[in-house]
Amino acid sequence: MIARLLLILACLGLGPVMAQGFRTPADLVRASLVAEPAAVAGATPFTLAIHMRLKPGWHVYWRNPGDSGLPPEVTWTLPAGFNPGAIQWPAPRRIPIATLMNYGYEGEVTLLVPVTPPPSLDPAEPVRIAGKLTYLVCETECVPGSADLSLTLPVGPSTPDAANAALFARARAEMPVAPLWPMRVSSVGERLRLDFAAGGLKPEQIASATYFPYGETVIDNAAAQTMTVDGQGLHLTLDRGDPKSTPGPLSDPLPGVLVVEEATGASPVRLAFAYGDEPAAAGAVPPPPAPAAAATPAEDPPTLGAAIVLALLGGLILNLMPCVFPVLSIKVLGLVRQAGESPGRVRLHGLAYTAGVLASFLGLAGVLLALKGGGASLGWGFQLQSPPVVAGLAYLLVAVGLSLSGAVSFGGRLAGIGDGLARRSGLPGSFFTGVLATVVATPCTAPFMGAAVGFALTQGAAVALAVFASLGLGLALPFLALTVWPAALRVLPRPGPWMETLKQALAFPVYATAAWLIWVLAQQVDARGLFAALIGVVLVGFAAWAWERGRGAGPFGERIFQGLAGLGVIAVVALALGLAHERAAPGVLAAAEGTEAFSRARLDALRDERRPIFVNLTAAWCITCAVNETTSLNRPAVRAAMRAKGVASLKGDWTNQNPEINRLLEEHGRSGVPLYLLYAGTGAPQVLPQILTEGTVLDALKALPDRPQASLSR
């Protein structure tokens, strides 16, 4: 996944994009909104068309964009009583970009949207329809864009507009239809086999066949799809996607679209069949689904000033999180050691620490903005979805713990905690502590952070950097205040022998943090990868031993042992990088009884049934998530209340990249987990706080309407 993200970043033309402030050049996409009827009649469904013309060589995306990208979305502004349906997507094409495979459209595309008006309309009041279209358009670089669409229709008999008839006819010809052949899905090793019972089909009749699944991680999109035709029908063999993102068995039939090109001369006929979704019959409009959460957001986004204040408060609270506290304690211990220095020197340590925190937060924000501009869908803590990053952080903390324990001294280079800290190495040590504090803070989401970071990642670069800088300032503020305020320094105890004992005691929470990271790694890689990661811990210990053993061994002996330490470090780096290719076993996070794995298809199906739903988006590396589950979600009273209300529970695991979870987070203005959504059965969901209590959850459940007993058995 990290290699893929780096490739996206390398392909971006970020300079021109930044210079335009993320505005799309006018010649890349020309979008228009067209209505099929010339007038609107009450209670008579009609269809809108979003027509997009693209600059040659550029493309937009299908509902499943493939390896990268984002599909077009529309936020409607309609008169009261008008209900828009879901977008109807034409059959896509495979669009290769370097080693990636995207699914989308080139040239032009027409997206159809059914609309149902209310039963009665005022003939004297024209119907004004408006929509905000957002999209990502890509060549070798990607540019986010938007268009304000609008039209006004009179009220009257709903007869087709002859001027638009050809456009709608072409659009419906591109839509998938009901399948001609039943499909059966089976596994052949690590590949998938799709069998279509097309009896009597001859090989020379079919030029090509491609399957486009709705799930974004079900198959290896870039791998070739092998087609065979025999007496039993048409067969496709596909490479299965990453089991980290799609654990467990696949559904049969596999929801998606089969595109077949008939061999009929110079211009093959292209046929598309929809499996798993109800296709639109020609000329008909399906009834609108339940309102989408994105159309009616549950929370108003904060203003810039509010986001900065929320980020500052969230950064302050991060200091109390278990992932940050050990590192901050080490730095405070270092401050006690430096208490004899001049106040000006101590203030420099505080400023150096603050600079390390701010530089790290701004660097993280820059990477996130760049990758999002390239079509990647990422959020807070995204780097911990990479096994090499998790392993590298665990190894670093093991080395810090060994230094605290006195097993090895690195001369003050690690977070400024070594013995004999020289003045020149002290300030870089403070800076590095700020960097380390930021890195270990990413698994934690403090209160107020979610809305602030989510807001930042939907804004321009300047706003996003300002919010991330406020978050970093909040994290750095307590230590900075200790160094700047002389009265606080006088409260600190005097240096003495007790410091060595405390320093060694602080090694154990650092070791515990490293052990937790290894546990996170166990959720991301298989048993072989976990064994390799544990060997890496042994090698860290070997490198530390060899480094320390070289002290006092004479010039020749010192070089030998330093060389062995260097080889140990190289081996550790190689093992960490090799984890990028390991695969996790299916079933990453164990679900509690009565909880299903989250998927967008399952969420939509439950919403269609008007059932109350609780969605828990979490990750193995999210400490806040683990605390909430232990103290609130898994409590017997909460489980009993969910059963009594007939609540369906869905658990989404973001330990590894999952585009469907990314989308749901973005719909609710969040950039990371945890996210807790409670659907009452109709309408937009309630977003619960990021820090839960048992009482908070029970109060939210009590507000749900009582379910009939018959419904509870469904």
The domain spans of the chain are 2-172, 183-275, 304-522, 595-712
Buried b (16+ CB within 10 A) or exposed e, 147-164: bebeeebebeebeeeeeb
What are phi and psi for residue 272, nearest 5 degrees? -135, 135
Q: How confident is the model at residue 7 (pLDDT cuts 50, 70, 90)?
A: very low
Do the Cβ atoms of 47 and 114 come closer than 8 Å? yes
CB neighbour class for 188 (10 Å; exposed up to 12, middle 13-18, buried from 19): exposed
Q: How confident is the model at residue 616 (pLDDT cuts 50, 70, 90)?
A: very high
Q: What percent of the chain has pLDDT over 70?
A: 75
Q: How confident is the model at residue 596 (pLDDT cuts 50, 70, 90)?
A: confident
Cα 615 from chain centroid (whole Å)? 15
Vertex 273: Cα angle to 269 and 275 (nearest 5): 165
Cα 239 from chain centroid (whole Å)? 23
- The pLDDT of residue 495 is above 90: no
The confidence score (pLDDT) of residue 265 equals 64
Find, among 693, 701, 675, 687, the residue nearest to 612 by Cα: 701
Alpha helices in 374-497 (DSSP H): 387-405, 423-441, 449-456, 461-484, 486-491
- The pLDDT of residue 260 is above 80: yes
Cα 471 from chain centroid (whole Å)? 20
Q: How confident is the model at residue 113 (pLDDT cuts 50, 70, 90)?
A: very high
Mean pLDDT of 535-545: 89
Just give the CATH number of 595-712. Answer: 3.40.30.10
- The pLDDT of residue 284 is above 60: no
More confident residue, 282 or 352: 352
- The pLDDT of residue 290 is above 50: no
Q: 675 CB contacts (<8 Å, ≥6 apart)?
A: 450, 615, 617, 664, 665, 668, 687, 690
- The pLDDT of residue 588 is above 50: no
Q: How confident is the model at residue 328 (pLDDT cuts 50, 70, 90)?
A: low
More confident residue, 105 or 601: 105
pLDDT tens readout for residues 46-81: 999 999 999 999 999 999 998 888 899 998 999 988
- The pLDDT of residue 424 is above 70: no
The confidence score (pLDDT) of residue 378 equals 55
The confidence score (pLDDT) of residue 291 equals 39
The confidence score (pLDDT) of residue 246 equals 52
- The pLDDT of residue 573 is above 80: yes
More confident residue, 520 or 280: 520
C-alpha–C-alpha distance, residues 215 and 211, integer Å: 12
Q: How confident is the model at residue 24 (pLDDT cuts 50, 70, 90)?
A: low
Mean pLDDT of 445-458: 61
Report the DSSP pairing between strands 595-597 and 648-653.
parallel
- The pLDDT of residue 16 is above 60: no
Lowest model confidence (mean pLDDT) among 100-109, 250-259, 373-382, 444-453: 373-382
Q: Report the residue count for the chain.
A: 714
Report the DSSP pairing between strands 73-77 and 127-138.
antiparallel
Mean pLDDT of 489-499: 64
C-alpha–C-alpha distance, residues 537 and 318, integer Å: 27
Q: How confident is the model at residue 457 (pLDDT cuts 50, 70, 90)?
A: low
From residue 145, alpha-carbon distances to 23, 27, 102, 293 in Å are 6, 12, 18, 22
- The pLDDT of residue 714 is above 50: no
C-alpha–C-alpha distance, residues 700 and 702, integer Å: 6
Domain 2-172 in CATH: superfamily? Thiol:disulfide interchange protein DsbD, N-terminal domain (2.60.40.1250)
Find, among 135, 167, 131, the residue nearest to 58 by Cα: 135
Q: How confident is the model at residue 440 (pLDDT cuts 50, 70, 90)?
A: low
- The pLDDT of residue 538 is above 60: yes
For 515-522, the CB contacts below 8 A with 24+ separation are 516/623, 517/390, 517/391, 517/393, 517/394, 517/397, 517/621, 518/394, 519/620, 520/384, 520/390, 520/443, 520/620, 520/621, 520/655, 521/387, 521/390, 521/391, 521/394, 521/579
Mean pLDDT of the chain: 78
- The pLDDT of residue 595 is above 50: yes
- The pLDDT of residue 31 is above 80: yes
Q: How confident is the model at residue 330 (pLDDT cuts 50, 70, 90)?
A: low
Whole-prediction pTM: 0.52
Most confident stretch, 206-220, 303-317, 402-416, 595-609: 206-220
SS3 710: helix
Query: What residue type is assigned to position 687 of the chain?
Result: V
Most confident stretch, 191-200, 295-304, 374-383, 594-603: 191-200
- The pLDDT of residue 620 is above 80: no
- The pLDDT of residue 185 is above 80: yes
- The pLDDT of residue 506 is above 70: yes
Q: What percent of the chain has pLDDT over 90?
A: 25
The confidence score (pLDDT) of residue 347 equals 81
pLDDT tens readout for residues 129-173: 999 998 989 887 788 888 999 999 999 998 899 999 999 999 999
Q: Which residues lie across from 653 on neighbouring strands?
A: 618
Cis peptide before 493 (omega within 30 of 0): no
The confidence score (pLDDT) of residue 709 equals 45
- The pLDDT of residue 615 is above 90: yes
Mean pLDDT of 280-292: 38
The confidence score (pLDDT) of residue 678 equals 94
Mean pLDDT of 262-266: 72
Query: What residue type is assigned to position 572 of the chain?
Result: V
- The pLDDT of residue 84 is above 60: yes
Q: How confident is the model at residue 324 (pLDDT cuts 50, 70, 90)?
A: low
The confidence score (pLDDT) of residue 421 equals 34
The confidence score (pLDDT) of residue 701 equals 92
More confident residue, 225 or 323: 225
Most confident stretch, 264-278, 325-339, 394-408, 573-587: 394-408
Mean pLDDT of 346-353: 83
